[in-house]
Structure 1
């Protein structure tokens, strides 16, 4: 088994002041996919520049030819399935079918209250996420003239039309971020891929060994969720978004350190690792020369 290497390019730079250059360089370096976060703002970047995910990915689609593009991740916090579906079929068309939708339940950060609502409870987030994914699946896959009509507890659609549908058939792929039983069930049922960042409880004080063991447990629970609906878990790609495990900075210190980190997760069945494009003076600070060396040399060592 080989491992695909992708990157996250956070949308904090103006397009003509380094934004475009990062996306074109990602393609030159051979990354499989270039992702960006789909937030209105995020953590330490809240008081600085931060641009929208879909316009950024649309510009990246026009600036690249082969690099896959995606969100990591979109959530219901400020999105509605009907309007999101229209944006996604447009992006899929502009990119020539190079889009993957990373999608998750959302959290309690700035996005959770930006539209003026009270923060949802964990149960309400899970309820909304289940309905959101189900309806979005239909909206992207059903492109007939009658459209899609749906009446749920949280979302509705009335004859919502998405003609001509996605370039990718039956729709663009979903990469479902989940660790709990309900989310893993959605990944098994609707996902073409599953995403994890590891176990957040281990972020501060855990060890790399504890992290690997916790992620192994997540993979096993995903397998159980797939088995419950008669699906082979090997039919899902498995994506690790790095930077949130106890050894978060070490993998980008050298090619050898990255290959060691990646190899341990390859053994767990992961098909894709995603590393953050270096950002000075942030949680994602790293030597850009080492980062590029990893992009160019590590995949061959992991085949």
Structure 2
């Protein structure tokens, strides 16, 4: 794993493709971002709840055709409204269309609007963890085996065919979002990367120092989980999705401020930082010129 820090972006799927959406993904490639992620939800929190919101897989498919080098991915997909069999087929197709540029960010999901949109009761944290614990191994099989049959507590597959499989071998990479022990074990066993947003209890009212201490603790737990699985934690990329730590979007206030933030978190062991593409009048508002300067200048200062 390189000692340098990669910078990626998360483009929320709120723009009509022919009214600026396509240009954002192309601009992300021009600016040199490592990966362009998008959220995999059916709708999201206020103020996005009552506005335009497009599907992640079609958006990434269009982005794959509109770009050449930019890696693409979800951040994150969850079992809330996904089934491993249908998701695997979509991912294999997307990996092929993109020429092998897809990363699957995947997590256990939460209690947002996606949790009940199909008419089910919201799952408890334990139920989410149970489902996630079956979802990830089955998806791993579906993306690496030509035919899969499975009878589980939550998911079934009957001779699910996934030929020719992923263009990336042995399958496209998983970036597993996790902070609890069961999720971290899944990251250690199946992940090529681990994703965190920090400690949500510190998002409002916490300090930068408290957040960094919490993140350092999460990294240590990941290391222990990897050791238990017989893996080296260095084999996993460590990805921080920004915007939810106490510093929020203020880290995009200037190049110097972001360089300081990125350097502090690189020292904790992170080698990829994801920043949200600015959206005016939201939690992700930022000056567009500063944002682009960060994209083009930061990597060179942190190598």
TM class by smaller structure: over 0.9
Q: For 2:117 and 2:49, locate their aligned partners in 1 and report how far apart those are by CA, in whole Å.
A: 12
Question: What are the residue-to-residue correspondences of 1:67-146 with 2, within 5 Å?
Answer: 67-143=70-146
Question: Who is 1:19 aligned against?
Answer: 21
Q: For 2:167 and 2:249, locate their aligned partners in 1 and report how far apart those are by CA, in whole Å.
A: 38
Q: Which runs of 5+ in 2 are unaligned?
A: none
Q: For 2:175 and 2:68, locate their aligned partners in 1 and report how far apart those are by CA, in whole Å.
A: 22
Question: Displacement, 1:271?
Answer: 1.0
Q: For 1:274 and 1:142, locate their aligned partners in 2 and report how far apart those are by CA, in whole Å.
A: 31
Question: Who is 1:239 aligned against?
Answer: 239
Q: For 2:132 and 2:249, locate their aligned partners in 1 and report how far apart those are by CA, in whole Å.
A: 31
Q: For 1:133 and 1:183, locate their aligned partners in 2 and report how far apart those are by CA, in whole Å.
A: 10
Q: For 1:224 and 1:26, locate their aligned partners in 2 and report how far apart those are by CA, in whole Å.
A: 35
Question: What are the residue-to-residue correspondences of 1:1-303 with 2, within 5 Å?
Answer: 1-44=3-46, 45-143=48-146, 147-303=147-303
Question: Displacement, 1:149?
Answer: 0.3
Q: For 2:18 and 2:296, locate their aligned partners in 1 and report how far apart those are by CA, in whole Å.
A: 25
Partner SS state of residue 69, structure 1 = strand
Partner SS state of residue 135, structure 2 = helix
Q: For 1:25 and 1:204, locate their aligned partners in 2 and report how far apart those are by CA, in whole Å.
A: 32
The superposition leaves residues 83-125 of structure 1 with CA deviations (integer Å, 9 ceiling, x where unpaired) of 0000000000000000000000000000000000000011000
Q: Which runs of 5+ in 1 are unaligned?
A: none
Q: For 2:190 and 2:151, locate their aligned partners in 1 and report how far apart those are by CA, in whole Å.
A: 20
The runs of at least 4 consecutive aligned structure 1 residues that moved more than 3 Å come to: none
CA RMSD of aligned residues (A): 0.4
